[in-house]
Amino acid sequence: MEMELYNKIDFWFENNKDRLIQDIIRLLRIESISDPAELVGPFGKGCHDAMDEMLKIGEEHGFYTENHEYNVGTIGNKKKDFKNTIGFWNHLDVVPVGNNWYYSPFEPVLKEDFLIGRGAQDNKGPAIGMLYVMKCIRELEIPMKHELCLFVGCDEERGMKDIEYYKSHYPTPKLSMIADSGFPVCYGEKGIVEGCMISNAKVSGKIYDLYGGSASNMIPDFAVAVLERTADLERELKTMGTNLEVSLEASRIILKAQGTSKHSAFPEGSNNAIHELCHTLSQFSCLDPEDLHLLRSVSNMSKEYYGENFDIAYRDEVSGPTTCAATILSLEKGRIVLTLNIRYAITADTDKLFSCLMIHAQKAGFSWKKDRNSKPNYFPRQHPAVDLLTNTYNELTGEKKEAFVMGGGTYARKLPNAFAYGIGGMEEDTIDKIIKNKLFQPGHGGAHEPDEGLNLRLFLKAMKIYTMSIIAMNECEL
């Protein structure tokens, strides 16, 4: 009977594939980077337009939609019993574009079963996918024990103010599932700290500007220094040689470092452009000694990803290691500002973590300023939904994956009774890998990377698994 049901679902998605892809493309064309400084809506015109388009798509598919002041939209039934509702949560905002795109980020292209554009994976593709999951269940007339409702927000990447607003004004579902992780169930998420190391001293007049990175949750793929053009600096550049890109102007020398961008929660394999820049600059003896001290400090703070240089390295069996990435560099009123994005293990001592950061800052001639601390999320591992959904995924794929905890942050950390489930992390076959190597350069194609691409073959498979999983939730009390 399960195989017969899966075949019906498979047939339905194959028949609706083309329209599904076109609906994703409609969203990908909108440059929805959350920006509260813009005057349109709480998060800017792009997010405003993306919400309008998403709700319009929902209405076209026969659902009732509500716009909660452009913070969160809902797509489902007109009358809702939130005490018996499974909520699906996705976000319509995207991270900044960054650099080194081969394809245009907001002019999506379809190439060899990959849909390329900013937000294709994270998280516009899955948002449309969950809409189609609900539509599939409705059109196949599959009886459901629980109500289903799709929620879409506009500020996930920047701080989740959308969810905080929604929770303070509206009811939340009995159980929430977030399609913004890997399969199977992600029942816990590390805590997230964002803050800045700010130099106590100002740089000398020989450093005109320093900047790099574009978002706190992205490993920076570029960093730039603008320096006074002097004969000594030109001489050292020629003598030492450098991997930096060098531009000579009448009174300035511009040095640019290239890195590889990745999500800051999963920094392994990336190359931090801030470290590349400051490590090189700190070797120029012609710069002022005070400037060299500050540059060496930044180089030291940005050279590894596990907090060892801050004495905050820690791991536990549940969530793995704490990660600490330097993600944004700027010069503000003459002082160096370095943004840190820290994903701390669930059992980490945050008081000790903040104390170590302050001590390190003082020793380096900096001050530590905490901007936010988003506490870890932990959904009870023993809840029956965890094993039910994990087993459903493994049975349908033939894999033997286990429920897990991750460093990425989703809406689950802001919602009661919530966890993440899919749609990523599925096994690629040989053809997938060949196509990826042909379409994408190293460090391209992933979420938060240049040329972000959605593997449509795996995406459709994931939607079928998700549909079967939601039907299996009929066996589970919320």
Asked if residues 98 and 327 have their Cβ atoms less than 8 Å apart, the reply is no
Q: What are phi and psi of 59, to 5 degrees?
A: -65, -40
Residue 361 in tokens: 């800052």
Q: How far apart are CA 335 and CA 201, in angstroms?
A: 6
Over residues 291-343, the pLDDT tens digits come to 999 999 999 999 999 999 999 999 998 899 999 999 999 999 999 999 999 99
Q: Kind and range of the H or E element at 224?
A: strand 222-228
- The per-residue DSSP string of 272-341 comes to -HHHHHHHHHTT-TTS-HHHHHHHHHHHHHTS-SSSGGGT---EETTTEE-EEEEEEEEEETTEEEEEEE
Q: What is the pLDDT of residues 15-25, one digit of tens each?
A: 999 999 999 99
Distance, in Å, from the CA atom of 320 to the CA atom of 316, rounded to the nearest integer, reads 5
Band the pLDDT of 242: cuts 50, 70, 90.
confident
Token representation of residue 2: 């399960």
Report d(CA 355, CA 350) in Å as an integer.
Answer: 8
Enter the tokens of residue 443. Answer: 């460090």
Q: Residue 475: exposed, middle, or buried by beta-carbon count in 10 A (0-12, 13-18, 19+)?
A: exposed
Report which of 354, 36, 324, 343 is spatially closest to residue 164, judged by C-alpha positions.
36
Give me the half-sphere count of Cα atoms (radius 13 Å) on the Cβ side of residue 354: 12
Q: Give just the sign of the alpha carbon dihedral 9, 62, 110, 408.
A: negative
Upstream peptide bond of 416 is cis (omega within 30 degrees of 0): no
What pLDDT digit, counting tens, does each position of 34-74 carry?
999 998 999 999 999 999 999 999 999 999 999 999 999 99
Look at strands 315-316 and 377-378 and give their pairing. unpaired
Global pTM reads 0.85
Q: What percent of the chain has pLDDT over 90?
A: 94
Cα–Cα distance for residue pair 72/91, rounded to 1 Å: 9
Q: Three-state SS for 468?
A: helix
How many alpha carbons fall within 13 Å on the CB side of residue 109?
Answer: 11
Which domains are assigned to the chain?
2-190+377-475 (3.40.630.10), 192-374 (3.30.70.360)
69 with 42: CB under 8 angstroms?
Answer: yes
Report d(CA 351, CA 133) in Å as an integer.
43
The torsion defined by the Cα of 225, 231, 233 and 234, in degrees rounded to 10, comes to 90
Cα separation, 419 vs 405, in Å, equals 10
**H/E stretch holding 394:** helix 384-397
388 token code pair: 């039910």
Residue 450: helix, strand or coil by DSSP? coil
Single-letter code of the amino acid located at 320: G
pLDDT, tens digit (0-9, with 9 covering 90-100), for 343-367: 999 999 999 999 999 999 999 999 9
Beta carbons of 192 and 409 less than 8 angstroms apart:
yes
Q: Convert the pLDDT of each residue in 135-166 to its tens digit.
A: 999 999 999 999 999 999 999 999 899 999 99
d(CA 349, CA 426) in angstroms, rounded, equals 34
CA contacts within 13 A on the Cβ side of 307: 23
How many whole angstroms separate alpha carbon 131 and alpha carbon 127?
7
For residues 328 and 324, give the distance between their C-alpha atoms in angstroms, rounded to a whole number.
Answer: 13
Parallel, antiparallel or unpaired: strands 175-178 and 418-421:
parallel
Looking at residue 442, what DSSP letter applies? T
For residue 411, pLDDT beyond 80: yes
Of 15-24, 112-121, 297-306, 372-381, where does mean pLDDT reach its minimum?
372-381
Q: How far is 182 from 204, CA to CA, in rounded Å?
A: 47
